[in-house]
Structure 1
Amino acid sequence: MGAGRESQNWKGYHSTRPRRQDHVPLLPPSVTTSKGGAKNPRCFVLVSTLAPNFAALSGIGLSRSEIVRLLRLRCRSVVSKLQYYLTLFGSSEAFLQALKFNCNLLTHSIESAVEPNVALLRECGLGDRDIAKLCVGMPWLLTANPECIGSMVARADGLGVSRESPMFRHAMHAVAFHSEEKIAAKMEYLKKTLRWSDAEVRIALSKSPMMLRSSEGMVQRMSEFLISEMGLEPAYIAHRPAMLAYSLERRIRPRYYVVKYLKENGLVSRDRDYYSALTPSEMVFLEKYICPHKQAAPYLAEDYDDACRGQVPDRFRFA
């Protein structure tokens, strides 16, 4: 008897399921016949859901591939929320990138969850463009508890970065996953390793807050080369912390060798600042430090290439 009821229930289940002909491809036939199109059952939705959504999403400028990704979220209010996010992020590409890291963006209420957080970030001095850039990498900020954002702002303030500074967005990113205790410990390590005073570490962090994300091993290697080998003063580094973000192996060391060689051979002034050789693009560096010396130093370009590959040519071994 139980088996009979199960059989009836099973028949009833099948009778209530949508029939195959009630489904249509998520995209027009010209698209669904492509590789992985109509053969994929996920590429079918009910006509009643598809018709308004596909038209509306196309109407705001999204490509077909972008629409596929969004409609697969099966969020009924997806279209009504998209225009807000596209305005906030500035482009569909930026929004879809944020969506990769927080697929719940389209399930939260704009009015009660997202807009209050955006307003709070604006109150902190961040413009819409800064908010968009910050939230592309950390979209959870848009749906986080406001107290969490307030705590982040306080930690960023603690670095000494002005809220009016373009660096404040980077300061927010730098402290996002660090507690106050961890930040204090990292600042102490920077002071000890780079031989900075309290004032110098704050100067450096105000200019380059992402230093907090640097590994201790990297900071140690930088200290040994910049201070011990290049002979730079700790205070000099603190006022130019951007150099700590460059690659030691592929940028700092090779360019230092080139300038050192030019100085040793009287091809540039001995008071030439090393930092001025670190900041230009690769093309500008070659035009300024390599090309003018082709006759006086015909092997300089080759030696520089070797140094960029981690080698130390004999001509770059100084007494």
Structure 2
Amino acid sequence: MLTTNPERVRAMVTCAEGIGVPRGSAMFRKALHAVAFQSKEKIAAKVDYLKNTFRWSDAEVRIAVRKYPGVLRKSKESLNRRSEFLFSKVGLEPVYIAHRPEILSYSMEGRLRPRYYVIKFLKQNGLLDCDLSLYSSIKMTEKVFVEKLICPHKEAAPHLAEDYAAACKGEVPTNFRFT
């Protein structure tokens, strides 16, 4: 950005503020990166795509972009796959995702799907003591996730660690094994 034309930098700042990220916020730098070298038309098209794909209102798009400006840099294919998964499989509501848009930043294969399968398996088999959300589980580090949700169930679900590891490699199990 230091070698960029000052007029272009001003335009980027205006654009970042225009998408709802104030200059003083912690996300402003990320918003600048998200809008850098994108035309207003491309950004407007991406906002429209987000509204249609995630069934968001204008206000919800502004909330999502303000919290996770990087959503503007995601490919349409990536966003589409995430929306299908989060709506169809997980059953999340559009407003839930709009208020937690960083959920869209995580890998489908490496984090979202595998952790969804673990949470679903644990709930179905009565092994989860609390009502843990997918969002809470994906925010955990890998170490914490394994310590809190895989290791305590070694005896009751001896294949859970193996099934989780397979899911993290992209293998989509039809069911995690209980015995």
TM-score, normalised on structure 2? 0.95
The corresponding residue for 1:142 is 2
Q: CA deviation at 1:314?
A: 4.1
CA distance in 2, matches of 1:179, 1:166: 23
The answer on whether the counterparts of 2:63 and 2:99 sit within 8 Å (CA) in structure 1 is yes
1:178 counterpart = 2:38:
yes
Displacement after TM superposition at 1:284 (Å): 0.8
Any unmatched runs of 5+ in structure 1? 1-140
In the TM superposition, residue 178 of structure 1 has moved relative to its aligned partner by: 0.7
Structure of higher CA gyration radius: 1
The Cα shift of 1:289 comes to 0.5
Q: Return the letter of the residue paired with 1:274.
A: L
- Which residue does 2:92 correspond to in 1? 232
CA distance in 1, matches of 2:149, 2:104: 22
Unaligned residue ranges in structure 2 (runs of 5+): none
4+ long deviations beyond 3 Å: none
1:263–1:270 contact (8 Å) kept in structure 2? no
Secondary structure, counterpart of 1:174 in structure 2: helix
Q: Of residues 148, 164, 167 in structure 2, which corresponds to 1:288?
A: 148
2:78 — aligned with what? 218
Amino acid at match of 1:315: N
- CA offsets per residue over residues 47-84 of structure 1, 9 Å max, x none? xxxxxxxxxxxxxxxxxxxxxxxxxxxxxxxxxxxxxx
For residues 133 and 141 of structure 2, the distance between their equivalents in structure 1, rounded to whole angstroms, comes to 16
Question: TM-score, normalised to structure 1's length?
Answer: 0.54
Aligned match of 1:96: none
Higher relative contact order, chain-length normalized (CA < 8 Å, sep 6+): 2
> What is the Cα deviation at residue 144 of structure 1?
2.7
Aligned residues: 177
Percent identity, please. 62
- Residues 190 and 201, structure 1, Cα contact 8 Å, conserved in 2: yes
Deviation at 1:221, TM superposition (A): 0.2
Partner of 1:205: 65
1:315 maps to 2:175: yes
Q: Supply the distance in 1 between the matched residues of 2:175 and 2:42 (Cα, whole angstroms).
A: 44
